[in-house]
Amino acid sequence: MIYRVLAEATMVVHFLFIAFVVTGGFLAWRRPRLIWLHLAAAVWGLCIVVFALNCPLTYVENWARERAGQSGLERGFIDTYLTGVMYPERYLDEVRLLIAVVVAVSYAGVVIRWRRRRG
């Protein structure tokens, strides 16, 4: 039971991490110090995509699921829970581009707000 709860909690944390990667730059508009945490998360997310790395959270979820008697994820977290579920697989490149644009816009907003505060 505890391993199943751990697996589900890890899945939730994974979703929250991805949501932070996508929208965290906008949070930095209100909390400027968050930009450094978001930059680290965005770089990590980019490295996972570019270098086809597995996120440590995927390992934790798989480990917990296997101990709970379930099968682990056959593919990565995004491939399992998002691609083909939240958007069609054929739009993967477009979704990645959209996420990059959203992050870039949020960073542009951070820069504009910083300049206004200094000026």
* Residue 112 buriedness (CB in 10 A; 0-12 / 13-18 / 19+): exposed
pTM above 0.85, yes or no: yes
Percent residues over pLDDT 90 in the chain = 87
Express each pLDDT in 31-79 by its tens digit: 999 999 999 999 999 999 899 888 999 999 999 999 999 999 998 899 9
- For position 57, what pLDDT does the model report? 94
The residues spanned by each domain of the chain are 2-118
Contact present, 52 and 96 (Cβ < 8 Å): no
